[in-house]
Amino acid sequence: MTDAVTVYLEDLSVGQSLERAFTATNAAIRAFADVSEDHNPVHVDEAYAATTPFKGRIAHGALLNAWISATIAGGLPGRGSIYVSQSLTFKRAVKIDDVVTISLTVTDIQPKTGVVTLTTVASVGGKTYAKGVAEVIAPRKPV
């Protein structure tokens, strides 16, 4: 997303949400393996992955976390956000070419500290694959 926006702390509201879709392409998974130096064969070796309970290669769980971060930076709250924490529980494995929808929803806003709490959900075809909670410091309006 090259046209990132900023929703300032003062303009955020509980219940506000944003969705963004990503595709778990072979290229994305291999690039993530390279940049993270996580070459676990379940992600990069089809012959090995075929012998696992997944019956084929799967995306890195941390790739979903990266897409959550990208969605935060891309618009909720957007540019200037500071990622403070993330909990994430994985329910299902993302396979090659799955289209993953990242959904963020504001659940709490702390005006004094600027900390915004978001529920984070990664889904494929309407089924939850991972969910958690993120905390970010939202940028404030310039004075």
Q: pLDDT by residue (tens digit) across 48-96?
A: 999 999 999 999 999 999 999 999 999 999 999 999 999 999 999 999 9
- Supply the CATH classification number for the domain 9-24+60-137: 3.10.129.10
Domain limits of the chain?
9-24+60-137
Q: What is the pTM of this model?
A: 0.94
Query: Residue 50 and residue 66: Cα distance in Å, rounded?
Result: 25
In one-letter notation, the amino acid at residue 77 is P
**Tokens encoding 37:** 């130096």
CA 37 to mean position of chain CA atoms = 19
